[in-house]
Amino acid sequence: MTIQDNANPLGFAQLGITGTLLKAATDAGMSAPKPIQEKAIPPFLEGRDILGIAQTGSGKTAAFSLPILSRIIGLGNKRRPRTARALILVPTRELAVQIEKVVRELAAGAHVSTALVLGGVSRRSQVKRMASGVDILIATPGRLTDLVREGEVVLSDTTWLVLDEADRMLDMGFINDVRRIAKATHPARQTALFSATMPTEIEKLSKTLLRDPVRIEIARQGTTADKVRQHVVMARLRQKRTVLAELLSDKGMGQVIVFARTKHGADRVTRDLQRDGFEAAVIHGNKSQNARQRALNDFREGVVRILVATDIAARGIDVPGISHVVNFDLPDEAESYVHRIGRTARNGADGEAITLCDPGEGNKLRQVERVIRMPLPVSRDVTGDPDPVQPKTAVPSKARSPEAASKARNGGEAIRKEAAGKPQRRKRNRRDRKGGSMRFGSKAA
Ligand code: AMP
């Protein structure tokens, strides 16, 4: 079946979504199912496990929420204390908040209770919320592990389990927590695992957690790359602050998200921007949940025009209207580049992605080009090197227009003042939990 571009109000009904859910989906602006919803909802409603290879933006939240809600609505409110009927496990707090919002929106008009269990905010209110049990729990692995270990959350009645952005949970060092949590859920549960990529570890995890899953693959959003104008500015680390300030002074720039590789780097970029007279907010894993949410809200509502973010914190953030993405650093993982640039050009809008590349980041640039399967043109070069791009980076010479080459020769003059900047050390994963025994599998009271 192919999806028509025009809205088809019967689409979700044909997939088996009925009643209040159908109305709520339409009210939420989901009139025609997206491909992942079309493929995942019918088997999920039949009770099949799902292995979904799809990215944020594909519509996967509704793909798993609608079938779970349609099974939960009507079960009544007889739940055991501290239990959850469904668990949605996600890597970041922002994604958890976002998913809960969608779930509540879709559950409008039905009696469905939800809870959030995530780090960075008070545990007390979470424990209180879980006391009488909930229908749908959305959680990050770290805090959930703690609360399960302490017996404040009991997963033995959890018969639906969704692992969202599994590859990111792996990157963040959560994989053992995820295994333990899954083991603590009901043995006869139904499971869906979504991941943007399928590294071997995730493939292995899926084999142990899923039973005869329906495999759904939604093509990489290659289209994003087509819609986003992408180019590289060659600049030394110490020049990047000035280049960034110059770029952001351009009146044509609307909402901008600036990516830094590390939390420390993100803080430094934000501080420098503020000193240079820009209003910028920062979002990364060391910030409290409240600070992160405030930064995101300010950015979403246009109170600040610039959001500085690390890859992990920005993952899954769906803010419409971002006109530019600036990569202050190349990402450690080339795949992250695709997620970064996917923050712009959403819903058919135009977007531009500018990558500031130190000659020493040439290898990373090459890896990005391999992932996106195209060369990234150098639009400007302020390093002052006669040809800093070759041989250190792989931008093929044909990707550089004569214009760009000329700019490359003259660009050094554009930078008069140089900001002091130290190369950043790589930090360890935020969470590398020690084993520790957990009281998982304990019976619900
Ligand atoms: P997700 O991948 O679940 O984060 O969804 C990405 C965006 O697509 C969100 O802004 C959703 O509200 C939107 N969306 C999801 N499903 C549909 C649909 N069937 N029609 C229109 N928009 C949708």
Distance 111 CA to ligand 1 centre (A): 23
Sign of CA dihedral 159, 165, 166, 172: negative
CB half-sphere exposure, 65, CA atoms < 13 A: 27
Which residues, in sequence order, are CB contacts of 229 under 8 Å at separation 6+? 350, 351, 352, 353
Share of the chain above pLDDT 90, in %: 56
For the sheet with 280-283, list strands across it: 280-283, 306-309, 255-259, 322-327, 351-357, 228-234, 378-381
| DSSP letter string, 340-391 | HHTTSSGGG--EEEEEEE-GGGHHHHHHHHHHHTSPPPEEEE-S--SSTTTT
Cβ atoms within 10 Å of 35's Cβ, excluding its own: 17
Which atom of ligand 1 lies closest to the CA of 320? 10
Which atom of ligand 1 lies closest to the CA of 102? 12
The residue whose CA is least distant from atom 8 of ligand 1 is 59
Rounded to whole angstroms, the Cα distance separating 346 from 351 reads: 8
Report pLDDT for 196: 84
Distance 316 CA to ligand 1 centre (A): 12
- Convert the pLDDT of each residue in 292-346 to its tens digit: 888 988 888 888 999 999 987 776 667 777 889 999 999 998 878 888 888 887 6
The residue whose CA is least distant from atom 11 of ligand 1 is 59
The residue whose CA is least distant from atom 18 of ligand 1 is 30
Domains detected in the chain: 2-217 (3.40.50.300), 228-381 (3.40.50.300)
pTM of the shown model = 0.62
Residue 126, both tokens: 């979470």
Q: Measuring from each residue's beta carbon to the nearest atom of ligand 1, which residues come in under 6 Å?
A: 29-30, 32-34, 37, 56-62, 318
The residue whose CA is least distant from atom 10 of ligand 1 is 318
Q: Is 47 left (phi over 0), alpha (psi -120 to 50) or beta?
A: left
* Alpha-carbon radius of gyration of the chain: 23
Q: Which of 10, 21, 30 to mutate to test the pocket of ligand 1 (most atoms within 8 A of CB)?
A: 30
Q: Which of 318, 339, 346, 347 to mutate to test the pocket of ligand 1 (most atoms within 8 A of CB)?
A: 318
Classified as helix, coil or strand, 153 is coil
Q: What is the pLDDT along the chain (445 residues), one digit of tens a residue?
A: 333 333 444 489 999 998 899 999 999 999 899 999 999 999 999 999 999 998 777 899 999 999 999 999 988 888 999 999 999 999 988 899 999 999 999 999 899 999 999 998 899 999 999 999 999 999 999 999 999 999 999 999 999 999 999 988 887 889 999 999 999 999 999 999 999 888 888 999 999 999 999 999 886 544 455 678 999 999 999 999 999 999 999 877 888 999 999 999 999 999 999 999 999 999 988 888 788 888 988 888 888 999 999 987 776 667 777 889 999 999 998 878 888 888 887 666 678 999 999 999 999 999 998 888 788 999 999 998 765 444 334 333 333 343 443 333 333 333 333 333 333 333 434 443 433 344 454 433 3
Which atom of ligand 1 lies closest to the CA of 29? 21
Sign of CA dihedral 50, 53, 55, 57: negative
Residue with tokens 């998982």: 440
Phi, psi of 67 (to 5 degrees): -65, -40
Rounded to whole angstroms, the Cα distance separating 239 from 415 reads: 7
